[in-house]
Amino acid sequence: MKLKHELKDALTQALDEFFLANDDFEIWGATYCAKRFYDSHAELMEQLAKAWALDRLSTLFRHRRQRGWPTHIKREQLILPGFENLPYNISIGSGNVKRLNNATVPQIRRHLEMLRRYQSKEVLEIGQLQAVLELMKKYTSKTPRITWGEVKRKEIEAQTRSL
């Protein structure tokens, strides 16, 4: 954690003064003394809380950027209304799995064929994937290898322009 020097110095000074003024630290324990210190230094604690929160949030954002978005969020799939229940990954045969956002029309068709053949998924997923293919049709004439993620971006831009 990187605190500003003034804030770090103020915390160090306040802690030193607190320890000197409270010789019962060993009797009451760390949690009780921490609460007393926090309550008696509300303004400093408010400044520290913001600095610590920003530091922690920066770390979380940095890690999130390195890892990418977790699969349970399905962030990009929630953007386009009507396609909320799509799978994050699809099977494209021979044990290969592909992220739906990076899948092309032939890959989505292959996945649909496997779903129909093995009937391992609900009918809702099959219906939504068919709707995905229908939506992608209007883009494949110009860009045959377009991905679902690119189609969604174009659709969202079109919806935004029409508002």
Query: How far is it, in rounded angstroms, from Cα 109 to Cα 151?
Result: 16
In the prediction, which pLDDT does 153 show? 85
Map out the domains of the chain as residue ranges: 5-67, 75-162
pLDDT tens for residues 106-144? 999 998 888 887 765 566 678 888 999 999 999 999 999
**Do residues 45 and 89 make contact, with C-beta atoms less than 8 angstroms apart?**
no
What number of residues does the chain have? 163
pLDDT tens for residues 29-84? 778 888 888 899 999 988 888 888 888 888 887 777 666 555 444 444 446 777 77
Residue with tokens 């992608």: 136
Q: How many other β-carbons are positioned within 10 Å of the β-carbon of residue 90?
A: 23
Is this structure's pTM higher than 0.85?
Answer: no
Q: Is the pLDDT of residue 163 over 70?
A: no
In the prediction, which pLDDT does 78 show? 42
Cite the DSSP H helix spans in 105-145: 105-118, 123-140
